[in-house]
């Protein structure tokens, strides 16, 4: 099979709309090795996808494109230590990314509910971390709905006493 270029029109596919199919990039190390180079390549992909038009009413309010990557254990240890959060060995803890209300009463109410459910599910909470963010490049629309970003560190109850 020797396909070079865009395929011919067939079924529901029409090459006239090929430009509409952009918006996904994928970079990986096939052996699962972690490296900052992969993150840099992923950021390049994000910058190159700017043309796809995934913006709102303002050019600086977008669709929240991001990067999925392996857990950065060394970094998390560095930022958790000053908070008194002691992390088990890699692979023995989890991190939940929580997008919650910027309003303290709502945020605290949600935290209490989450902590109750987490305990019921047999997880041990290791600690919470407020993730520093920089909204200086966001549009007013994005800022109006901006959540507080928090991380919840936990481990399964099977590992509680280890």
| Residues tagged active-site | 22
Kindly report the backbone phi and psi dihedral angles of residue 145, in degrees, each rounded to the nearest multiple of 5, phi listed first.
-115, 15
Q: What is the chain's percent helix, strand, coil content, to nearest 5?
A: 35, 15, 45
Beta-bridge partner residues of 154? 94, 125
Contact 74, 81 (CB under 8 A): no
Contact 32, 47 (CB under 8 A): no
Beta-bridge partner residues of 151? 97, 129
End-to-end CA distance of the chain: 55
CA distance 6 to 16: 10
CA distance 160 to 162: 6
């Amino acid at each position: 099979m020797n396909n070079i270029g865009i395929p011919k029109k067939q079924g529901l596919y029409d090459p006239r709309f090929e430009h509409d199919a952009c918006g996904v990039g994928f970079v990986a190390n096939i052996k699962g090795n972690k490296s900052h180079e992969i993150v840099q390549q992923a950021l390049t992909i994000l910058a190159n996808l700017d043309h796809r038009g995934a913006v709102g009413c303002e050019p600086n309010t977008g669709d929240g494109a991001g990067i999925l990557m392996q857990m950065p254990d060394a970094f998390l240890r560095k930022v958790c230590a000053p908070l008194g959060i002691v992390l088990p060995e890699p692979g023995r803890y989890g991190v939940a990314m929580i997008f919650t209300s910027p309003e303290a009463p709502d945020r605290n109410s949600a935290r209490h509910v989450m902590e109750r459910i987490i305990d019921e599910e047999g997880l041990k909470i290791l600690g919470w971390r407020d993730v520093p963010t920089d909204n200086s490049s966001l549009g007013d629309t994005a800022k109006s709905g901006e959540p507080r970003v928090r991380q919840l560190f936990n481990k399964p109850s099977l590992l509680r006493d280890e």
